[in-house]
A and B are shown apart, each in its own frame.
Chain A
């Protein structure tokens, strides 16, 4: 029998039982749709996070107290501004070092108030991280050395406190202490689930006085180039350990952060895909079941085809094609469903989704494979039927 002929017979058989064919396909449609949509969400999330981490700036080195072991207890920081001076000496360039001490504070302007993440920083922050101003100016070195009470507001805070009015030169109180607004940041949006437009930057010295502490939480260094990141990290950690013999310090790069996040997201995507894969498997079992029913129902037809010259192979191929046709049509519909779902999620929710070619190819390949794997048993059974026995059944 010619292949084109086998296709025609398979299509006719599926048409003859339209409703059943559609219901059988549904399992595969949902399974493939779920795989495509969930992989798209996993990929989209991963991409977004990568962009954000890379968007922080290049060649960054984050130095924090404690070990970066998963499960290790967070270490209370013992770093002070003296340590920062030591680090600046190691780096040899103040403009490459940023520090932070952060605290959640209520910011007021007149009768309005907003909850902000106050960051005590050096004037070098815009040199180390990518941070653009919308209006005004950033902190100066003098602001930092004299502990002047000036503040740069995140876009969200500025909007909440001042609406459309220009906040530059106006007074706000942070934790009850008066500060003068000297600048506002460009809008940034969410990053890693944190609203970065609710930051307020003040001189680290002013923040320490406000909080009544000498500590800082951590520091970041921008290496001059990629090659020197590791060496620089080692030198900084060594300098800090020398000053604090009882404390561990870790220096991590963006790549390491991306690596850890990527691993977590990879596992997450894998789990999602596996769950979706199980539903695809269930769809496959459904196909197998229906094909067995179909073989039983059409036993007489099979007997007749054999009586007029169909070989076991011809019958087997016909039923296998039917199964493969069911799952591949289901697969294509499932891809359409998955793509639509991913686009909807991407557009209507904050969750990003990016459909990848490999997930489409995989989903299609798997659905075709499901058809072959789950079609083989019914096809073999049909192929082996004895013609006389088959013709005798009702």
Chain B
């Protein structure tokens, strides 16, 4: 089933309930991410980009509509199966890194492997390899507060890649970076995409968006083009 798209969303909505007031963050979104896609999502702040990314990353469930990730309908999955799905098929780079502050770069990167049952020795080896790949071989034992924003961003990317995911979701991966570092990170994502990993990224930067194979523009919880 190599023809099966990585992610299929059909008429997906997501409504948040805030003290009885419902906020519609997504109001019917349909989207297909194929196995070798390179998609950029753009849109104004609050248009629902992060909400959509959370759904695509199996972190959240749609309020209505169907969402299939790696060929599986998330409506049929329990929390433990969702966790497994995240661990096995998704690499997620968060808008604000989300690294464990008291933990070294190497152990931060190795964390997803803990929940895959990989032994400590192999975990550390694979984490070091990944950090080397993002150009942080010299920062293995640094903690997040001992690193620059760009370095932290690359640690977060290394963590997303260490499990060898088939889809990489990155929420503003270059948002906090200067143009040179941003360029490095983009180069990394593009080389991954060339290796057959589907890449979906959110960005406010027109130039970054222009480099993707296709762009999706969001406004008020809808895809407008």
Query: CA of A16 to CA of B143 in the docked complex: distance in angstroms?
Result: 14
C-alpha spacing A304/B79, complex, angstroms? 15
Q: How far is the CA of A16 from the CA of B103 in the complex (A)?
A: 11
Looking at the complex, which one of A300, A301, A308, A386 makes contact with B115 (CB distance below 8 Å)? Answer: A308
Interface pairs (28), CB distance under 8 Å = A1-B115, A2-B117, A2-B119, A300-B98, A301-B100, A304-B98, A304-B100, A305-B115, A306-B83, A307-B59, A307-B86, A307-B98, A308-B92, A308-B112, A308-B159, A309-B83, A309-B87, A309-B88, A309-B163, A310-B83, A310-B115, A311-B80, A311-B83, A314-B83, A386-B60, A387-B59, A388-B54, A388-B60
**A388 — which chain B residues lie within 8 A by C-beta?**
54, 59-60
Bound-state Cα–Cα, A308 to B94, Å: 11
A-B interface, 8 closest residue pairs, ranked by CB to CB distance from nearest: A309-B87, A309-B115, A308-B112, A311-B80, A311-B83, A388-B60, A304-B98, A310-B115
> How extensive is the interface on chain B, given as a class?
20 to 34
Residues from 289 to 333 in A contacting B, C-beta threshold 8 Å: 300-301, 303-314
Contact present for B94 and A391 (CB under 8 Å): yes
Least CB distance from A19 to B in Å reads 16
Interface size on A, residues (CB 8 A): 22
Given contacts A1-B114, A301-B100, A391-B94, contact A308 B79 (CB under 8 A): no
Is B86 within 8 A of A309, CB to CB? yes
Give A304 to B120 CA distance when docked, in angstroms. 19
B102 at interface (Cβ–Cβ under 8 A)?
yes
| B105-149 interface with A by 8 A CB criterion | 111-112, 114-117, 119-120
Q: Is B84 an interface residue (CB 8 A)?
A: yes
Identify B117's interface contact among A1, A308, A313, A387, CB under 8 A.
A1
A5 touches B (CB below 8 Å): yes
User: How many angstroms from the CA of A2 to the CA of B92 in the assembled complex?
Assistant: 23
Q: In the complex, which residues of chain A have a beta carbon less than 8 angstroms from the beta carbon of B87?
A: 308-309
Chain A residues within an 8 Å CB radius of B100? 301, 304
Contact A311 B115 (CB under 8 A): yes
A300–B94 CA distance with the chains assembled, in angstroms: 13
Q: Are A5 and B83 in contact (CB under 8 A)?
A: no
Set of chain A residues within 8 Å of B94, measured between Cβ atoms: 307, 391
CB distance from A126 to the nearest CB of B (A): 75
Known: A304-B98, A391-B94. A309 touches B116 (CB 8 A): yes
Q: How far is the CB of B180 from chain A (nearest CB, A)?
A: 28
Q: How far is the CB of B174 from chain A (nearest CB, A)?
A: 20
Chain B nearest Cβ from A152, distance in angstroms: 79
B contact residues around A2 at 8 Å (CB):
117, 119
**Which A residues lie within 8 Å of B57 (CB)?**
307
Chain A residue numbers with a CB within 8 Å of B117 are: 1-2
Which residue on chain B has the smallest CB distance to residue A300? Answer: B98
Contact between A311 and B79, CB atoms less than 8 A apart: yes
Minimum C-beta distance from A89 to chain B (A): 87
Interface pair B98/A314, CB less than 8 Å apart: no
Give the chain A neighbours of B163 by CB distance below 8 A. 309
Which chain B residue has the least Cβ–Cβ distance from A310? B115
A311 CA to B116 CA, complexed, in Å: 11
**Contacts beyond the supplied A2-B119, A308-B111, A310-B83: 12 A-B pairs with Cβ under 8 Å:** A1-B117, A303-B98, A304-B111, A307-B94, A309-B84, A309-B116, A311-B79, A311-B115, A312-B83, A313-B80, A314-B83, A388-B60
Write out the residue numbers on chain B whose beta carbons fall within 8 Å of the beta carbon of A391. Answer: 94, 98
Closest chain B residue to A298 by CB distance?
Answer: B100
A387 to B92, CA, bound (A): 13
Q: Residues of A contacting B83 with CB < 8 Å? A: 306, 309-312, 314
- By a CB distance below 8 angstroms, the chain B residues around A386 are 60
Which residues of A are found within 8 Å of B119, using beta-carbon distances?
2
Residues on A with C-beta less than 8 A from B60 are 386-388
Q: Find the residue from A304, A305, A309, A313 having the highest chain B CB count within 10 A.
A: A309
Report A1 CB to chain B, min CB distance, Å.
Answer: 5
- Which residue of A is nearest B81, CB measured? A311
State the CA gap A5–B107 with chains docked (Å): 13
Q: Are A312 and B112 in contact (CB under 8 A)?
A: no
Give bound CA distance, A389 to B120, whole Å. 30
Point out which of B79, B84, B94 has the most chain A C-beta atoms below 10 A from its C-beta.
B79
